[in-house]
Amino acid sequence: MKSKLNAYAVSVIFCLNVLIVFLLIFEQQLVIPQWVQPIGRMHPILLHFPIALLILAAGMEFFRFKSENAATSFYQDFTSGLFLSGILLSGITVLMGLILSLEDGYDGDALLFHKWFGVSTVFLSSLLFKIRDFAWYKEIIAKSGSVALALILIVAGHFGSVLTHGDNFVLEPITTPVLVPLEQAKVYDHVIQPILQEKCVSCHNDQKLKGSLKLTDSLSILKGGKTGKLFIAGKPNLSLLLERIHLPSSEKKHMPPSGKPQLTEEESRLLFLWIKDNASFSKKVTDLAQNDSLRVLAASRFKPTEIEDEEFDFAAADDKTIKKLNTFYRLVAPVSQGSPALAVSFFSKNGFDSKSLDELTAIKDQIVSLRLSRMPVKDTDLNKISQFESLQNLDLNFTDITGSGLKELSGLKSLKSLSLSGTKVNLAQVKPIVSLKSLEELTIWNTSFSEKDIQELKKLNKKIKILTGYKDDGNSPIQLTQPLLNNSSRVFKDQTKIELTHPRQDVSIRYTLDGTEPDSLTSPIFNNNLIIKSNSTIKAKAYKKGWLSSGVSTFGFLKTSIKPDRIKIMFESDQYHKAMGANSLIDGQLGDFDTNNSNWLGYQGNNLEVLLEFNTVRIIQNIALNTLISPNGFDNRFPYGYSFPPTSIQVFAGTDKDNLKLIGTMNPVMPNKTSIQEIKSIYTTFKPQSVSYIKIIAKPLKKLPEWHPTKGKPALLMVDEILIN
């Protein structure tokens, strides 16, 4: 039974070999009927079996003559069985493969190699099987035969995989393509040629001049092929190259031939745009306009212009060390993720002492940037800095160095930028540093360097950029701001010391108390010793050499010698001007023209009616309401253009709360159309009275006068303080 089966198998193998030879010879003449095609297409499924079986068979054949194997009949039978089934299947596989190869789209070197190695596998294995039982078949033949079979099989398999998966399928993920940075990229060399290389050159090269066309170099491309020139520069629509690419894939002339890797849409678009752009062989990608389609498409193929992190030849410092060196006042951080280079900055004088730099010795090789601006760095510290050999940027602005230690730094061969603004360094001290070839930038604002010095420095180092910054030449003085008042209140009881200040130092403030504008010659200089005892208006101006004098500031001081112990208001003020309630009227805080602040009480319609109470009997002789008067319409800055004085003020007083007498009346003068905005104290005077209660009734104007833009409407009475003397 078994030998019968064997015999069948051997004859089938023989037939298969004959068939294969037949197919190989008449390959060109054969037309494969359509129904056979599926058989051909099963080639990729079946092929794995013979590979496994034959490799195993070859392996066993290799050790066949080893004594223990030679004696085992199972080993012998099994090997023979493996061979038989392997050859059978490989024969069928090859037949299928040959049928498949007759279909459209299989061509090229890989196919050729695959075909012949595949066929050889069948022939060689058949031959081996045929001769392996002859007497002269010795160990040496078995070994060399099986090795040869395995090799041929592997090569055949390899080319098969190239056909289906393409070249370099296995290693592709780990081979990094060389990307050209965008700035250097040329349109032809780095965009067009790679496309041709990938999709066309396998058939249009020196060896395989299909259609007499070669696409390997610019000359051959310009020459074209059998059918003519490839393209007309600038006219992609008339160009043969694109015509062939865009033919339907069923057409025989469609390129690349069907079955071959096709051009992607982007690739054919790139070819189109390149020809449209006159098919230049030398143009750089960056020569194209920023929004040119060719550039936009091409740009994605290049390395993006990302900052290339500088490579350093030192190792990274220990993370723990770095962490330890970070304090609230000192930052030690890698320049970027994964970079061994460190940047160190100091931020507070209090956190800096001479040890601060010593501690950095642990990372001396890694420091590339050191910021010591405003730290009390001494000349002796520069010696410590000189051991940071990788240092590129050093900021010594406003440090205490005098320059004598600068020469220590001349060993810093990587130093690129040095900042010495606001230090006492001089020309001779800086020279050795400037001579450093690496130095590109020197900042020396606010130092003693003259224009001549700078020229001299520039001679030492041609590429150096010297930053000197702004220096006041005195030709364009600017104006000082007005003096400011520091007093917490402008209302005083007996006397007050006036406190004028200015945000600049060494400014002299001159003032007047008589209402005239201060001048720089006759007006007294304010010296922090000015005391006033009665209502006063101080006008002040600031002066300083090299500056324009300031504008005038005006501050009114009001005396109120008697302060009530309690205050009550009879009617609520209007909703927009409530200040801090009734107390605002006796709190010593005055309002200004910005009525949004919380010092003004406003009355419109209602009377201002106030009751003041004293714990002990007081003698009074006048009472004043400090009011805002702003009668003239609306204006962006002063929207309260309907603030008028009251039409009348009545003062009642006495020692009995329920029996107050009218002791004084005042009818203020009404402003007119030309009146300016002012803050004014309106006094009501009377004979000195002993009082423990005072009641004030002030009536706001009921109707704005005819000339007012909102005539007929009620006016606003604005009061910020009541003064009692």
Partner 1 sequence: MQKDFLEHGLNSNRRRFLSRLSLGLGSAALGSLLVPDLFSGDSSDSGLAPGIPHFAPKAKRVIYLFQNGAPSQLELFDYKPRLREMMGQDLPSSIRGNQRLTGMTANQTAFPMVGSFANFQQHGESRNWISDLLPYTSKVVDDICVIRSLHTEAINHDPALTFFQTGAQQGNRPSMGSWLSYGLGSENKNLPSFTVLLSRGKGNSQGVYSKLWSSGFLESIHQGVQFSSGDDPVLYLKDPDGMNKYERRKFLDQVSQLNQLSYEQFGDPEISTKIQQYEMAYRMQTAVPEIMDLSKEPDDIIKLYGTDAMTPGTFAANCLLARKLSENGVRFVQLYHQGWDHHGNLPNEIASQAKDVDQASAALITDLKQRGLLDETLVIWGGEFGRTNYSQGKWTADNYGRDHHPRCFSIWMAGGGIKPGISYGETDEFGYNVVKDPVHVHDFQATILNRLGLNHEKLIYKHLGRRYRLTDVSGKVINDILV
Report the interface residues with partner 1, using CB under 8 A: 182, 289-291, 304-307, 309-310, 326, 328-329, 331, 333-337, 339, 341, 345, 347-348, 350, 373, 395, 397, 417, 419, 421, 441, 443, 445-446, 467-472, 476-481, 503-505, 546-547
Strand partners, 441: 417, 465
Say which residue the tokens 């940075």 belong to: 181
Please, are residues 391 and 385 in contact by the beta-carbon 8 Å criterion?
A: yes
**Cβ of residue 503: shortest distance to partner 1, in angstroms?**
5
Write the single-letter amino acid at 150: A
**Cβ of residue 342: shortest distance to partner 1, in angstroms?**
11
Q: Could you tell me which of 645, 647, 668, 656 has the C-alpha nearest to residue 694?
A: 656
**Cβ of residue 72: shortest distance to partner 1, in angstroms?**
44
Q: Is the dihedral of CA 517, 520, 526, 531 positive or negative?
A: negative
**132 vs 541, beta carbon nearer partner 1:** 541
**Cβ of residue 592: shortest distance to partner 1, in angstroms?**
16
**395 vs 574, beta carbon nearer partner 1:** 395
**Cβ of residue 437: shortest distance to partner 1, in angstroms?**
20
Structure token digits, residue 148: 């040869």
**Cβ of residue 126: shortest distance to partner 1, in angstroms?**
47
**350 vs 529, beta carbon nearer partner 1:** 350
Strands 648-654 and 661-666: antiparallel
Q: Is 591 helix (H, G, I), strand (E, B) or coil?
A: coil
**395 vs 721, beta carbon nearer partner 1:** 395
Please, are residues 281 and 308 in contact by the beta-carbon 8 Å criterion?
A: no
Helices (H) and strands (E) in the chain, counts: 19, 22
Q: How far apart are CA 449 and CA 433, in angstroms?
A: 15
Kindly give, in sequence order, each residue whose CB lies less than 8 Å from that of residue 205, ignoring residues fewer than 6 positions away. Answer: 214, 215, 216
**Cβ of residue 441: shortest distance to partner 1, in angstroms?**
7
Structure token digits, residue 446: 């606010």
**Cβ of residue 224: shortest distance to partner 1, in angstroms?**
37
CB atoms closer than 10 angstroms to residue 35: 7
**311 vs 494, beta carbon nearer partner 1:** 311
**Cβ of residue 332: shortest distance to partner 1, in angstroms?**
9
Q: Could you tell me which of 300, 218, 233, 228 has the C-alpha nearest to residue 273?
A: 233
Say which residue the tokens 């002063």 belong to: 638
Alpha-helical runs (H) found in 378-426: 381-385
**252 vs 471, beta carbon nearer partner 1:** 471
**199 vs 295, beta carbon nearer partner 1:** 295
Q: How far apart are CA 719 and CA 725, in angstroms?
A: 18
Please, are residues 16 and 122 in contact by the beta-carbon 8 Å criterion?
A: yes
**18 vs 467, beta carbon nearer partner 1:** 467
**280 vs 468, beta carbon nearer partner 1:** 468
**442 vs 682, beta carbon nearer partner 1:** 442
Q: Could you tell me which of 392, 472, 379, 478 has the C-alpha nearest to residue 426?
A: 379
Sheet with 553-559, edge to edge strand ranges: 491-492, 553-559, 536-543, 508-512
**469 vs 605, beta carbon nearer partner 1:** 469
**Cβ of residue 375: shortest distance to partner 1, in angstroms?**
12
Please, are residues 618 and 684 in contact by the beta-carbon 8 Å criterion?
A: no
Query: Euclidean distance between the first and final Cα of the chain, in Å?
Result: 142
Q: Could you tell me which of 321, 339, 412, 420 has the C-alpha nearest to residue 379?
A: 420
**Cβ of residue 377: shortest distance to partner 1, in angstroms?**
15
Q: How far apart are CA 392 and CA 310, in angstroms?
A: 12
**136 vs 470, beta carbon nearer partner 1:** 470
Alpha-helical runs (H) found in 402-544: 427-434, 451-460
**Cβ of residue 491: shortest distance to partner 1, in angstroms?**
21
Q: How far apart are CA 67 and CA 76, in angstroms?
A: 12
**Cβ of residue 326: shortest distance to partner 1, in angstroms?**
8
**195 vs 406, beta carbon nearer partner 1:** 406
Q: Is 583 helix (H, G, I), strand (E, B) or coil?
A: helix
